[in-house]
A and B are shown apart, each in its own frame.
Chain A
Amino acid sequence: MLSGKGGTGKTMLAVNLAALEESGLYLDCDVEEPDGHLFFRPERPSVTPVEVPVPVVDTALCDGCQECVGFCRYHALAWTGKKVLVFPEICHSCGGCALVCPRKAIREEFRTVGQVEEGLSGNTRVISGILSPGEASGTPVIQALLARVAGKRDLIMDGPPGTGCMVAETLRAADYCLLVAEPTRYGAHNLEMVHQLVRAWNRPCGVVLNKVDSGDNPSLAYARSAGLAVLGAIPFDLELARLGAAGEIAVHRNETFRQTLLTIRGNMEKGVNS
């Protein structure tokens, strides 16, 4: 599930599609604000920390040659004239600085940047990535999530909003991308952005139009002009909003909605297999 902007209904769709399955697997890759667990409420989930290696410089061994500073293309290291400064939140954990150091003055230490929680909710397996507050990049947490489901074929990934690194990290592991869009001009603009990203990765995709009312729908107009398959439409509906606010999984409570989702699921399957 992807969307160019937040709040279009990725989690609502992802949770409900996973809940339709007899034994679904739901993966929350929106690690900055994972909220699928609020609907599934898995019992006593297991918790595994996500750690990344970061460089530590031994000032006694460092002779100030600055090979490491010159090597780091992320500028996570700086030389002040007296010592090397390390900026862990900028570091991408490539390990290159330790490799190029001629004095072997750099070693790597592990730092926790988030955690993975896994548990069962009925027959649905729920795995959530949770980025620690204050961290700059959720990519390592998404990589930990993907490693955990390696080899598994049938799962729903609830993606992060936008079109940044974390979205790319999520979508490259997907066989099919379901885009969720609102009926506004801003929504259509962001739909176009994420659609371009998905096309750049050559992933098959389709759009679900959410919160549809009787007015104009710029997202539908975009989909038509871009040849983007429309998998279905979900109305702007007070009952659905109430269920969502109460943390209920709507397909368990509303038969009309369940039928709508079954249609979307069928159309998505045709797209996956085409």
Chain B
Amino acid sequence: MKVAIPADSKNPDSAVSLSFGRAPLFMIHDTETGSWESLENPAATAPGGAGVKAAQVLVDAGVSVVLAPRCGENAAEVLLAAGTDLHRTGKGSLAENLTAFEDGKLELLTDIHPGFHGH
């Protein structure tokens, strides 16, 4: 199972990115091999539709769980339609949040915000 977390750097001990659609990259953990790999977020600098694009990248990468502090409604619609579970991150690093998720301590992310659309 692949778990994705928005991140600002490739170090598993670094903080979770505050943004989903505009995060510079996603760190993806494979629970079977225990490995981390990074995936650049091509939507980070997109003029629009960043949430949709970022979600699409994760769906295409075969991610089945996303851990994030918050998520916009368009991104959530894509992720949920693809059967991806969304959990809210808590305090701590990427690795600490992954452990918390594996221990069943991260609740589902349900309060989806309407997005930060600047036009």
Contacts and interface: CB of A to CB of B under 8 A. Distances in A.
Interface of A: 69, 72, 74-83, 85, 87, 90, 136-137, 164-166
Contacts of B108: none
A78 B117 contact: no
Interface of B: 43, 46-50, 52-53, 55-56, 59-60, 74, 77-78, 81-83, 117-119
B81 A80 contact: yes
Given A79-B59, A136-B117, A136-B119, A85 B48 contact: no
B78 A76 contact: no
18 contacts: A72-B49, A74-B48, A74-B49, A75-B43, A75-B48, A75-B52, A75-B53, A76-B49, A78-B55, A78-B56, A78-B81, A80-B82, A82-B81, A82-B82, A87-B77, A90-B74, A137-B119, A166-B119
A90 B82 CA distance: 20
Given A85-B81, A164-B119, A165-B119, 4 more contacts: A75-B53, A80-B83, A85-B78, A90-B49
Contact of A69 (B56, B74, B82, B119): B56
A168 to B, nearest CB: 12
A81 B83 contact: yes
Contact of A75 (B49, B77, B117): B49
B46 A75 contact: yes
A81 B48 contact: no
Contacts of A79: 56, 59-60
A260 to B, nearest CB: 35
Contact of B48 (A69, A77, A90, A166): A90
A169 to B, nearest CB: 11
A85 B82 CA distance: 10
Given A81-B59, A164-B119, A76 B52 contact: yes
A83 B48 CA distance: 22
Nearest to B84: A80
Contact of A78 (B50, B52, B119): B52
Nearest to A90: B49
Nearest to B46: A75
Contacts of B83: 80-81
